[in-house]
Amino acid sequence: MSAGCATFVRALVAAGLAFAIAASAAAAGRFPFEQELLLDTAPMRPLKRVLVLNVGADGTATIFLWCQTVRGRVQLSDSAIRIEPEPLPEGLPRYMSDGQYTGERRQADRATLAALTQVTGWRRQGRAVVLLGPTTLKFRPSDH
């Protein structure tokens, strides 16, 4: 192989590698649509349920709170986010008995929903998504 050909091959490989790294970095900074994002916190005992956020590419959202589930809309840009959830449903959540939907859980649903409506920014932190506002909320992708 001539020196010129070898230099060309090395340049081509280097360009391909640089493109792959740049594409990977760009993908890492994207919002993870269509994925279950779990709030990075311990579940409220005795139930094992944790808060889950799922945002569709069309901006629709499903928010599984500590007891209730609400739908909403998400507006997203490079670093800004706005979450507009529907109101909390009235009455007892489906599949829960009155003893499971305690005052503490009702208050946690309200507080979490309020915190989500106040977020104004977002960023990636490794695989996690951090929502920024008066209360910082860190979500990690579900492993299943």
- State how far the Cα of 141 lies from the Cα of 24, in Å rounded to an integer: 18
Specify the pLDDT at position 51: 92
Residue 11, pLDDT score: 41
59 secondary structure, DSSP code: S
Q: Who's near 83: CB < 8 A, 6+ residues apart?
A: 61, 72, 73, 74, 116, 117, 119, 131
Spatial separation of the C-alpha atoms in residues 27 and 31, rounded to whole Å: 9
Q: Where are the domains of the chain?
A: 1-30, 32-141
The mean pLDDT value for 46-59 works out to: 89
Report domain 32-141's class.
mainly beta
* pLDDT band (50, 70, 90) for residue 121: very high
Tell me the two tokens of residue 16.
Answer: 């391909």
pLDDT one-digit tens code per residue, 69-80: 999 999 999 999
Amino acid letter for position 98: D
What is the helix, strand, coil percentage profile of the chain, to 5?
Answer: 30, 30, 45
Cα 134 from Cα 93, distance rounded (Å): 28
Do 58 and 72 form a contact (C-beta atoms < 8 A)? no
Angle subtended at Cα 130 by Cα 100 and Cα 47, rounded to the nearest 5 degrees: 15
**Size of the chain in residues:** 144
The pTM for the full model equals 0.75
